[in-house]
C-alpha cells in the first residue's frame, strides 16, 4: 500500500472514532430528539398511497444500479446513504435492505467470477472467516447504538469512502517479491489468463497478517452500516496484500456474499427486513446492474465516477448533519 493511502486510511479511521465519541457526547447531552420526532410523525399517514413506494424504489434502485456499475462501486454503498437520506424509512430498515441488496448482487456475480478464477477461494476463505464473524459484531453494534450515533458514523464513513475513491490509486499488478509465511502456509496464490493479451498472470500475497487484521475493521463496518464493503476490500487485497487488481475486485465481490450473509441474518432475525421496500430495492438494483454492464462498454466512466464521489460526499454530509440534529 502506498504511504499516502496509508495516511488517508489512518486519518479516516481516526475521524470515524472521533465522530463516534462526539456523537456519544451529543447523545448524552440530549441533542438527539429524533425518536420523539419520529413517534410524532408516525401518527400521520404517508401522503403517497402504499403502492407508489415500491414503484418509486424500483425505479430509483434501477438507476442506482446503473450508476454503481459505471462508477465501479457496490450497490450498498450508494443505497444506504441515499435511501436513508431521501426516503421515509428508518435507518434500521434501510441497513437491512442495503445488506440484502449487496448480498443478492454478490451472489449473482459469484459463479462467473469463481469459474473464471477471478475470485479465489483460497484467498477468500481465511479473510471471510474473520470478516463475517466481525460483521455479526458490527450488526449488533449498529442495532444497539442510538440511531443518531449510527447516522454520524455512517456519514463520516461515507465521506471517508468518497475521499478513498478520489485519492487511492490501485495497482493493476503489484510486485510481490517474496510471499510471507502465512500466505505460504495457507497456499494463497493462483494464476489467471489476461483476456486482452492472453498472458498468464501468476500472483501470491505478502503482508497477509496485516491484511487479515484489517478485515476485522472491515467486517465490523460492513455489519454496522449495511454497506457491503467492496470499497474497503479492494484496497486491502490489492495495495496491502499485493493481489492483482482483477483478482482483488473479483474476490472482493465474492467475499461480500459471505460477509453480508452473516450480517444479513442478524438484521433478518431482529426484524429489520420489510419485504414491501426490500424486494423492489433488490430487484431494481440487480436489473440496473445488468443494464449498467452493457452501458459500460460505450460510456465514459470517469465522469460518472466523479459524479458518484460528489453524490457520496453530499449524502455523507447529509447523514452527518442528520445525526448531529442540525
Q: How many residues bind other proteins (CB under 8 A)?
A: 76
Q: Rule CB under 8 A: say whether 33 interacts with other proteins.
A: no
Residue closest to 185 by CA, chosen among 203, 209, 217, 154:
209
Q: Rule CB under 8 A: say whether 40 interacts with other proteins.
A: no
Distances (CA, A) of 114 to 110, 121, 122, 250: 6, 8, 11, 8
183 vs 205: CA distance, rounded Å: 6
Closest to other proteins by CB, 62 vs 93, is: 93
Residue closest to 93 by CA, chosen among 52, 44, 143:
143
4 vs 13: CA distance, rounded Å: 14
Under a CB-based contact definition with an 8 Å cutoff, are residues 284 and 58 in contact? yes
Closest to other proteins by CB, 278 vs 308, is: 278
Residue 139 CB, shortest distance to other proteins, in Å, is 8
Q: Rule CB under 8 A: say whether 62 interacts with other proteins.
A: no
Residue 50 CB, shortest distance to other proteins, in Å, is 4
Closest to other proteins by CB, 103 vs 312, is: 103
Closest to other proteins by CB, 17 vs 193, is: 193
Residue closest to 136 by CA, chosen among 212, 219, 77:
219
Residue 197 CB, shortest distance to other proteins, in Å, is 13
255 vs 129: CA distance, rounded Å: 10
Closest to other proteins by CB, 143 vs 236, is: 143
Question: Interface residues for other proteins in 251-290 (CB under 8 A)?
Answer: 257-258, 261-266, 268-280, 282-283, 286
Q: Which stretch binds other proteins (CB under 8 A): 4-12, 68-76, 104-112, 227-235?
A: 104-112
Residue owning grid cell 493493476: 172
Interacting residue with other proteins among 13, 24, 63, 133 (CB under 8 A): 133
Amino acid at each position: 500500500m502506498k504511504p499516502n493511502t496509508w495516511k488517508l486510511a489512518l486519518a479516516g479511521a481516526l475521524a470515524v472514532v472521533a465522530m463516534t465519541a462526539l456523537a456519544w457526547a451529543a447523545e448524552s447531552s440530549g441533542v438527539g430528539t429524533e425518536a420523539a420526532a419520529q413517534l410524532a410523525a408516525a401518527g400521520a399517514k404517508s401522503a403517497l398511497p402504499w403502492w407508489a413506494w415500491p414503484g418509486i424504489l424500483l425505479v430509483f434502485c434501477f438507476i442506482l444500479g446503473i450508476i454503481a456499475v459505471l462508477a465501479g462501486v457496490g450497490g450498498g454503498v450508494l443505497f444506504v446513504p441515499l435511501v436513508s437520506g431521501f426516503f421515509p424509512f428508518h435507518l434500521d430498515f434501510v441497513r437491512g435492505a442495503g445488506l440484502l441488496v449487496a448480498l443478492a448482487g454478490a451472489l449473482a456475480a459469484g459463479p462467473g467470477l469463481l469459474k473464471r478464477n477471478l475470485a479465489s477461494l483460497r484467498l477468500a476463505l481465511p479473510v471471510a472467516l474473520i470478516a463475517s464473524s466481525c460483521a455479526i459484531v458490527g450488526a449488533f453494534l449498529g442495532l444497539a447504538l442510538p440511531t443518531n450515533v449510527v447516522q454520524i458514523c455512517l456519514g463520516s464513513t461515507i465521506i471517508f469512502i468518497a475521499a478513498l475513491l478520489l485519492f487511492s490509486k490501485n495497482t493493476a499488478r503489484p510486485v510481490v517479491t517474496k510471499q510471507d509465511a502465512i500466505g505460504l502456509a495457507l497456499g494463497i496464490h493462483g494464476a489467471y489468463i489476461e483476456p486482452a493479451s492472453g498472458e498468464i498472470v501468476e500472483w501470491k500475497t505478502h503482508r497477509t497478517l496485516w491484511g487479515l487484521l484489517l478485515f476485522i475493521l472491515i467486517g465490523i463496518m460492513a455489519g454496522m452500516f449495511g454497506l457491503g464493503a467492496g470499497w474497503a476490500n479492494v484496497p486491502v487485497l490489492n495495495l496491502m496484500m499485493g493481489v492483482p487488481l482483477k483478482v482483488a475486485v473479483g474476490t472482493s465481490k465474492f467475499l461480500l456474499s459471505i460477509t453480508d450473509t452473516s450480517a444479513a441474518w442478524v438484521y433478518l432475525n431482529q426484524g429489520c427486513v420489510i419485504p414491501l421496500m426490500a424486494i423492489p430495492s433488490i430487484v431494481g438494483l440487480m436489473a440496473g446492474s445488468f443494464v449498467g454492464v452493457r452501458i459500460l462498454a460505450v460510456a465514459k466512466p470517469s465522469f460518472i465516477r466523479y459524479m458518484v464521489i460528489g453524490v457520496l460526499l453530499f449524502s455523507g454530509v447529509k447523514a452527518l448533519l442528520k445525526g448531529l440534529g442540525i
